[in-house]
Amino acid sequence: MKIGFLQFKPLFGEVNKNISKIQKLTRNIKADLLVMPELSNSGYIFTSKKEAFELAEPVPTGAFTRAIIEIARKKKMYIVCGIAEREGKNVYNSAFLAGPKGFIDTYKKAHLFYNEKLWFKKSNTPFKVHTIKGVKIGMMICFDWFFPESMRVLSLKGAQVICHCANLVMPYCQKAMVTRCLENRVFAVTANRTGQETRGKKSLHFTGMSQITGINGEILSTAGASEETIKIVTINPRDALNKNINPKNNIFKERRVEFYRDLA
Ligand code: ACM
């Protein structure tokens, strides 16, 4: 299975330009599964709830979503893409999954980071897995990585590849994903954005260095800090079904859930 990430700098509020960038970057690629950054349609730093609402779009009928679905159709690949989603009166920080036959599902971010709490509604949907080409995948968004339960529950539900849309501003995630993948024996694709975004007095630097991580915590591919690029690697997703780290230790079967009750 060929899995990869698209790393780019979304331009704030410039939906059509963001679509064009993605179309250009994906023109000559061949992949089974491509993951794109968080909020790829809109950019990150909103200045009001109204602005977030206006820049968000309904999924899957919005213009940005339809353009990404068209790429998935044309390229006969699956795409997980981060998006500012409008649903009724609410705005969500979401990711959607689309494939050769069109739209499949949406995941709404569970753990909102810092000022995201001002613009977005917290999700009320559980972590879910989807089967594509016989392989189970799960979606999560950026700060979800900070909560090990996100990847754990997806992995316990059978996810072999974690699709991780990100707008990272802290320096820890790429290193943490090594442990997250190792402790769950899953693959992960962290698709981060790049660049500085300044809106009024607020300015953030996004760290790039998107990463594909293997089941033993090995870094299979990484991008530079500021480049707009796509990287694709070939994996055997069946490797993620084997939770034995040696003939005597199976990290899922040996969980002592009777000692973990306080977690819930
Ligand atoms: C983040 O969750 N975008 C840091």
Give the per-residue pLDDT at 92. 98
pTM confidence score = 0.98
79 lines ligand 1 (CB under 6 A): no
85 lines ligand 1 (CB under 6 A): no
Residue in 42, 92, 147, 167 to alter for ligand 1 test, most ligand atoms within 8 A of Cβ = 167
Per DSSP bridges, beta strands 90-99 and 78-87 are antiparallel
Distance CA 115, CA 204 (A): 12
pLDDT band per the 50, 70, 90 thresholds, residue 124: confident
Res 194 pLDDT > 90: yes
| Residues catalogued as catalytic | 38, 109, 142
DSSP 239: G
pLDDT tens digits, one per residue of 198-256: 999 999 999 999 999 999 999 999 999 999 999 999 999 999 999 999 999 999 999 99
Pick the atom of ligand 1 nearest to 142's CA: 2
Pick the atom of ligand 1 nearest to 109's CA: 2
Query: What's the CATH superfamily of 2-263?
Result: Carbon-nitrogen hydrolase (3.60.110.10)
pLDDT tens digits, one per residue of 161-185: 999 999 999 999 999 999 999 999 9
- Is the omega angle on the peptide bond into residue 60 within 30 degrees of 0, that is, cis? yes
Res 258 pLDDT > 90: yes
Res 54 pLDDT > 90: yes
